[in-house]
Every structure is written in structure tokens, then in C-alpha cells.
Chain A
């Protein structure tokens, strides 16, 4: 199985702060994804990357950017955090068509 790790389990940030969420996978897979998970809304795709330096917008990219400088690492950036970005953020790496998730980062923006 693919092992996916995320840099933080819990984060508390202030409105306007720049926030970095890091994700690392250990299986050399091209495709990586960032989702946010909110009650009743399931998993919504923010951005995905299909190779180093390649990225595509998902369904809800507004207020976010991403960076993929190395194949194993995919970063989600909140340029100026807002309270409506309080959520659980899940990273995934894809092997074949199967996605393997990280443990999630619960972000609270005050």
C-alpha cells in the first residue's frame, strides 16, 4: 500500500495568515490530490497534480494554490487564510485508479 503522510494533524491559524499544508507519499506515484472534507459535503477536490510542476484546478480552487517541486511532495497553500477555510484537509496519492489518503489536517482559522 501507498503510505501518505501529512505534516500536521491539527493547525490553528489567524485570518490573513499564509498557511502551508504538506503531503508526502512514498511510492513514486504521479498523481496526487488535495481535498477538503466538510460535514454533509463529502470530499471536494481542491487541486490535483499529475507530475512534478504540473497542477490542475479541481472543483473548489478559489483561495488555494499548490506546489509540486518533487514527485513525493505536494503542498497546499492558503495565501491568506479566511474563516471559511476552517475544515479537514485530506491529501491523497493515486496508484492505478485507487487513491490512498493521508491522515488529514484539521485546520481552524480564527
Chain B
């Protein structure tokens, strides 16, 4: 089955700086890669996703890039703000019942 690894486990940046979180996956058949944000005490919420037929996707200050050859994908947050502080999870899926999550990255944005 799919195995997703995520790095780093913790990340601290200064407000206004960029943050990058990286994930690798094991199964080349995976075709869907969502990113979730979980604020303290709240449920994980989908913030952006990318499919394997696309190399990059942007939504305002967040972007995701996918390198299918290397089997890795990354989340980029620009102009970070304190409200970006949360735990971020990446995931990979081949179909409809097989999504696997990374271990999470705790992002802290210091004012």
C-alpha cells in the first residue's frame, strides 16, 4: 500500500517569511495529493489539493508542487501570518479507499 513521509516535523518561521513542507510517497500509481490544515482543537480542513496530471497549483498565498518522477510533493506558504500556525498534513491516494497521511508538520509563525 501507499506510504507517505513528511518533513520536517516542526517548522518555525518569522512572520512574512515563506514556509515549505515536503512529502514523499511510495506508490507511483497515486494520483491525488491533498493538504490539510489542523488548528489547535479543530478538525483537519482541506486547504489545497493536486492531481497527478498537474505539476503545480496555487491558491493565493499557498501553492503545491508535484514531481511525479521523484514521487514527492511540497506545500509552499508565502508571506506567512500568525494565523497560518497549525499542524499541516499531506496525503496520497490512488483511488477511493486508500488515502494515507503523513505524520504532520507543526508550523509556528512568530510575530
Contacts and interface: CB of A to CB of B under 8 A. Distances in A.
Interface of A: 4, 31, 35, 40-45, 48, 50, 56, 90, 94, 97-104
B6 interface: yes
Given A50-B97, A90-B44, A103-B43, A40 B49 contact: no
Contacts of A101: 36, 43-45
Of the listed residues B34, B43, B95, the one surrounded by the most CB atoms of chain A closer than 10 A to its CB is B43
A43 B102 CA distance: 7
Interface of B: 6, 9, 32, 34, 36, 42-46, 49, 89, 93, 95-97, 99-104
B39 to A, nearest CB: 12
Given A90-B44, A101-B43, A103-B43, A42 B96 contact: no
Instruction: Tell me the dominant secondary structure on chain A's binding face.
Output: strand
Contact of A40 (B9, B36, B95, B97): B9
B96 A100 contact: no
B97 A42 contact: no
Of the listed residues A4, A31, A97, the one surrounded by the most CB atoms of chain B closer than 10 A to its CB is A97
A26 B36 CA distance: 21
Contacts of B49: 98
A50 B95 CA distance: 12
